[in-house]
Amino acid sequence: MIALCNNSEGEANVALGHWALHDNTSGSSNVAVGDFTLVNNTTADNNTAVGAAAMEGNTTGFYNAAFGSRSMNFNTTGRFNTALGSGTLSFNTAGESNTAVGFASLNQVTTGTGNTALGALAGTTLITGSNNIEIGHTGGSASESNTIRIGTRGTQTATYIAGIRGVALGALQQVGVNAQGQLGVRGSAARFKEAIKPIAEQSEAILSLHPVSFRYKKELDPSGDAQFGLVAEEVAKVAPELVVHDEQGKPLSVRYEEVNAMLLNEFLKAHAKLEAQDEELAKLKATLKEQAAQIQKVNARLETSAPELAAQAVEN
């Protein structure tokens, strides 16, 4: 066993295993347990490596903790990393402040920083991406950053989060989910849109929809509360653009937000018609009023001239 072979100035180091901390010269407060752990460390301080070849390539990186065979195996200058599990952060070289828990999690990261991964093989596609949180997720992209991913599509099929239902909040924004499963708030600003044009007659499709009352099946809603809405299969026949389909291409739900916009358009069209009718009615009222005034004038003249006309009739 050749441990701390070249140590000259380093203090408070612990080395147990073949070639553990072999090249250390002045690094202090390091713990190396296992063959070839921290073998190339020279001046770095406060590293803990437990497991065969853990932090084998580390030279000057400090405040790292690696538990598991070949964990942080290629780290050289990376700092403040925590790796728990065989092969975790194994290819990290200069990445900092990464946390990987689970077999081979974040095992491809090289220079990415601030990543957190939990679960076997979690975050294994990340390489240079930073500030990601990967929990039980194996997808994503190599350079993806600032993203949270929980679970793997096709593996987890239901989500339950406590502390949401029944909790009242104010100033809310409606959260939606896109076809890729990403959560977010639906953007309404013009900078997010293109090909903007009036709905015009498209909204007339909703006049053919048939709202219904119903109850969800017991497996979806054990309480059996009364519901009101539309049937996706029926909507698809009238306005297919209002229907969301599942991965098998079957109708799944109705885009009620779009229905609301179409309802508003029909309301505005009806309101414009009513305003036009009100204008016409006002004109008719004005005409009738004018005609009534003229008739009253004629009647007044007739009443004034009646005696004179009577006298003329007698003379004649």
User: 3-class DSSP state for residue 245?
Assistant: strand
Distance (Å, whole) CA 227 – CA 221: 11
- The reported pLDDT for the residue numbered 21 is 87
Distance (Å, whole) CA 215 – CA 227: 6
Distance (Å, whole) CA 220 – CA 64: 47
- Greatest C-alpha distance within the chain: 154
pLDDT score of 8 more than 60: no
Residue 293 tokens read as 């005034």
- pLDDT tens for 77-103 read 999 999 999 999 999 999 999 999 999
pLDDT score of 4 more than 70: no
Phi, psi of 206 (to 5 degrees): -70, -20
> Binning pLDDT at 50, 70 and 90, where does residue 299 land?
confident
Higher pLDDT, 181 or 272: 272
Residue type, 43: T
Which residue in 68, 62, 52 sits closest to 24, CA to CA? 62
Average pLDDT score, the chain: 91
- Single pTM value for the model: 0.81
Residues 6 or more apart whose CB falls under 8 angstroms from that of 70 comprise 51, 52, 53, 54, 56, 86, 87, 90
Which domains, from first to last, does the chain contain? 1-155 (2.150.10)
> Binning pLDDT at 50, 70 and 90, where does residue 73 land?
very high
Parallel/antiparallel/unpaired status of strands 183-185 and 99-101: unpaired
- pLDDT tens for 222-273 read 999 999 999 999 999 999 999 999 989 999 999 999 999 999 999 999 999 9
